[in-house]
Amino acid sequence: MEVKLADVSVVYTRAGEPPRKALNKISFSLKTGEAVALLGPIGSGKSTLLQVIAGLRPPTSGQISVRGQDGPIVLSIQEPHRGFFAATVREEVAFGPENLDLDPAETAARVEWALTAVELPRDKWTVSPLQLSGGEQRRVALASVLAMKPRFLLLDEPTIGLDGPGEEALRRILARIRTETAISYLIASHDPDFLYALTNRVLVLVDGELRADTTWGDWAQQAARVAPDLKLPFLLGLLHRLAAAGAPVNTAPATPAAAWNELSRLCRERVKEGIG
Amino acid sequence: MARFFVLDNVSYCYPGSAKTGVCQVNLELEPGTFLAVLGANGSGKSTLARLCCGLLKPTAGRVLVDGYCTANDEELKDIYQRVGIVFQHPDNQFVASTVEREIAFGVENRIMSSRAIRRIVDAEMVRFGLTALRTAQPHSLSGGEKRLLSLADIWALKPKLILVDEPLAMLDPGTRERITQLLRDLRTEGQSMIWFTHGLAEVMAADQVLVMCKGRVVWRGQPATLLTMAEEARAWGITLPPATQVAYELGINSPVVANESELVSVLWK
Amino acid sequence: MNSVAYYPAGSFWHARDPRLKLLVVLAGATLVVTEKSLGGQIFLLALHLLLFVTGQLPLRRGWHMVKTFRWLLLIALLLNLWTGSLPTALCYLLRLINLLLMSSWLLGVTESLTLIKGLELTLLPLKRVLPVGEMAMVFGLTLSFFPLLLREAGEIMLAQQARGVNFKTNWAKKMKGLIAMVIPLFISALRRALEIAQAMEARGYVPGAPRGSLYALAWGKKDSAGAVLVFCFVLVWWGYKLIW
Ligand SMILES: Nc1ncnc2c1ncn2[C@@H]1O[C@H](COP(=O)(O)OP(=O)(O)OP(=O)(O)O)[C@@H](O)[C@H]1O
Ligand SMILES: Nc1ncnc2c1ncn2[C@@H]1O[C@H](COP(=O)(O)OP(=O)(O)OP(=O)(O)O)[C@@H](O)[C@H]1O
Ligand SMILES: [Mg+2]
Ligand SMILES: [Mg+2]
């Protein structure tokens, strides 16, 4: 499956304002199995782009094409509480699988699985999603897209409102479904640490323009220049500062594992020096 | 002497819900303090925030602001004048149909001349970088823009006590730093602040930290002390600053690392 | 496009006192409701379009409003065809359309809070016998309830589409989605309205109490002239009717 965008632009016209180009001639493609991060300052067009890819917002100009579609493209919106409508959490989560025409047993199993995966306490499963705390609502929203077992998952700022354990659970479940199935995902977020752990390709939007389409290692080298408001993932930033202080470290590891290797090597050397 | 802000054994139970949302919280605040309330999802932070400003009334106990009690309807408007709240979901607080009118709304209630209102609104739009969105509908803004607007709303009012519920969510890292600075500046102007969140890094500058778990206050103390309590923090669902986490994972247990600079100097003189 | 939301622009009508605009609407609505001829309704339609143009509202907005209510309009038309002749049915249809356009116009050129203020001021003489401030606020909230309802519906539909409902093609699913939505939609919009009322109070709003305004509200010469014009127009209209 491949989603291809060619010169996609979206123009918003708001009363009393000149038209605003939220997306300006965006071209790239996403293939099965890819895990992609979408970075950008506030108002740069990330949510708009995700809506276009999900087919919810027709682009003002340009084409978007999907080849060899073998499953639903599903989007988890930025403010999930705005979209809740079901009477209970369970029904809210079941809504997606029901749309896939699954049999009731399968639907129930998936609801069970998804709500367990996001670690929502069981006593909350039967209350209205509107009567939950912010973080609990986010968990419901995430469960409701995970339960659809999409082949193509779009997440708009999934970590907003999630506490540490919630974020950890999401990270685990995303990593797991990616190794188990040929899922691809595109995650827009202001939390580079979360993205670094889960993705291997970085798209950067600034003012509606695609400024970078690259790897984490490469992005680490150009981030400060392209978008100063976007910080590097903590580990990468740390390596940069260590290198600036004269430490012999690689500043462009492509994965967190590689970054950890650099740090523990440095640590070991320090310990050896200390002893010697 | 009556303290400026007092929570006296406050409990709250949502109607129709068996569990208590907030249970027996006690607190006293002097003017100009910065208090952080930390806790996991569902621990009762937002409920406490709504209790503090009178939007929810305690089912037991009292909330006092400058001697006014939130339980008395006639005193509510005196409380609203002193306490401002920035909600966790910014769009819950939007009441007007354009950005500038939204910022003006609270100020208008204070009966000033149009010119004075205009001055305040313009200043806040500049402070929060919203000038270009002056006539946009609040609900058509992007997530981060909504957050900035919700902050500007309350800034325009300069309340004595400001409650912010996860104020940095939806902001990019650069904007986050600027807003953190703005929030810290409040204290120098004598305003008090209660900051509700689950990340310790945001509130390292707090005078006092209060940890909530399942609606109860389970710990109070200095933010720096929490850094040494990795086990408990994990159990309470509180995220330690990334530098501290990385240091622990590298096996560096002392000195306790609070931020990136300290970690750099530990790892490389 | 939201056909009942405030439409910020700098037109003649945006700058007028809300009381004048209420008067225009009141007069217009009276004429629309009492006018029984097709020709008269067409004339009023033209006047409404003129209001749109002078208020710098896009005509698309009016079209959108009519489209939103197309089912209601169609049913009304059919019922009237059933009971009466084609011209009376068309006249009835136009009457409804005119009323829709009128409300879309008023909400487009007047910010809802200003409208509340205007209502309060208009009702002020009744202050002794009625809780004017509260009434105006309830009215204003009701007015903003519809944009709210529309917006809420939009958001929920977006969320549903994001999870695989296709509102364009599959009728069965569409109906299922819509039915599953109506009641929760009302509940959540009602909740939202209450939240808004709370959020207003939390920022120091007291219904009926004096307020400042970012845009000074002052009844000016143009407003007086407008009011006189409206009165004259109504008198001439009715005089003409009487003589005819
Ligand atoms: N419905 C709309 N009507 C008009 N303008 C809009 C609308 N939605 C978004 N915009 C504008 O388009 C720009 C891009 O918005 P978008 O929501 O895509 O940004 P974003 O990158 O997701 O930002 P954030 O990180 O703050 O969520 C913003 O400046 C926003 O104000
Ligand atoms: N309207 C409501 N009706 C019933 N129960 C509610 C309601 N709102 C919240 N709760 C419950 O009360 C508890 C506390 O919720 P609260 O929103 O205060 O948590 P929180 O600490 O702010 O969490 P988060 O970090 O997720 O925002 C939760 O268990 C929640 O499910
Ligand atoms: Mg967004
Ligand atoms: Mg909360």
> What pLDDT does C169 receive?
60
Q: Specify the pLDDT at position B209.
A: 96
Predicted complex ipTM exceeds 0.90: yes
pLDDT at C46: 94
Residue B1 has a pLDDT of: 47
Number of folded domains in chain A?
A: 3
Q: Name subunits touching A (3+ CB pairs < 8 A).
A: B, C
Return the closest-CA partner of residue A238 out of A256, A212, A215: A256
User: Quick one: A11 and A35 in the same domain?
Assistant: yes
> Do A156 and A217 share a structural domain?
yes
Which of A99, A114, A148 terminates a domain? The answer is A148
Q: Compute the distance from residue C145 Cα to the ligand 4 centre, in Å.
A: 26
Check CB contact of C212 with chain B, cutoff 8 Å: yes
Does residue A54 share a domain with residue A95? no
Mutate-to-test residue for ligand 1 from A47, A49, A77, A230, highest number of ligand atoms within 8 A of CB = A47
- B215 torsion bin: left (phi>0), alpha (psi -120 to 50), beta (else): left
Q: What is the pLDDT of residues B166-211, one digit of tens each?
A: 999 999 999 999 999 999 888 888 899 999 999 999 999 999 999 9
Q: Is A74 on the interface with C (CB under 8 A)?
A: yes
Examine residue A78 and state whether it is found in any structural domain, yes or no: no
Coil, helix or strand for B58?
coil
Task: Establish whether the linkage from the previous residue to B255 is cis, with ω within 30° of 0.
Answer: yes
**Looking at chain B, which residue has its C-alpha nearest residue A78?**
B143
Phi, psi (degrees; rounded to nearest 5) at A121: -55, 140
pLDDT of residue A276: 40
The predicted-structure confidence for C61-78, as pLDDT tens digits, reads as follows 999 888 888 888 888 888
Q: Pick B69 or C209 by higher pLDDT.
A: B69
- Residue B261 falls within a domain, yes or no? no
Whether A180 and A274 share a structural domain? no
For residue A89, being part of any structural domain is answered with: yes
Number of domains in chain B: 1
* Residue in B with minimal Cα distance to A227: B174
Q: Are residues A67 and A89 in the same domain?
A: no
Between A94-98, A130-134, B252-256, C52-56, the lowest mean confidence (pLDDT) is in B252-256
Higher per-residue pLDDT: C72 or B243: B243
Residue B197 lies in a domain: yes
Q: Are strands B34-39 and B192-197 parallel, antiparallel or unpaired?
A: parallel
Cβ distance A96 to C164 less than 8 Å, yes or no, reads yes
Instruction: Say what the pLDDT of residue B167 is.
Output: 95
Task: Show the low-confidence residues of chain A (pLDDT under 50).
Answer: 275-276
* Residue B68 counted as domain residue: yes
Quote the pTM value. Answer: 0.90
Contact A206, A41 (CB under 8 A): yes
Our CA angle for C167, A53, A51, nearest 5°, is: 65
The range of the structural domain enclosing residue A44 comes to: 1-71+151-228
Radius of gyration of chain C (CA): 20
Asked whether residue B154 is assigned to any structural domain, the reply reads yes
* A67 and A157 together in one domain: yes
* B205 to B104, B201, B202, C10: CA distances (angstroms): 31, 9, 8, 46
First to last CA, chain C: 42
Domain housing B12: 5-220
Kindly list the domain boundaries of chain C, sorted by start residue: 1-110, 129-205
- Chain B interface includes C85 (CB < 8 A): no
Does the pLDDT of residue C140 top 80, yes or no? no
Distances (CA, A) of C144 to A213, C115, C189, C203: 43, 10, 11, 18
% of chain C residues with pLDDT over 90:
17
Q: Name the 3-class secondary structure at B252.
A: coil
Classify residue A238: in a domain, yes or no: yes
Q: Is residue A84 classed exposed, middle or buried when 0-12, 13-18 and 19+ CB atoms within 10 A define those classes?
A: buried
Residue with the smallest CA separation from ligand 1 atom 31 is B141
Mean pLDDT, residues B108-115 taken together: 88
- Give the sheet arrangement for strand B60-65, strand by strand: B22-29, B5-12, B60-65, B68-69
Q: Is residue A67 part of a domain?
A: yes
CA distance C96 to C81: 15
Contacts of A55 (CB under 8 A, 6+ apart): A64, A73, C161
What CATH number does the domain containing B64 carry?
Answer: 3.40.50.300
Pick the last residue of a domain from A131, A148, A165.
A148
Of A32-41, B234-243, C128-137, the least confident: C128-137
pLDDT at site C171: 67
Which is the closest atom of ligand 1 to the Cα of A14?
4
Q: Is residue A253 part of a domain?
A: yes
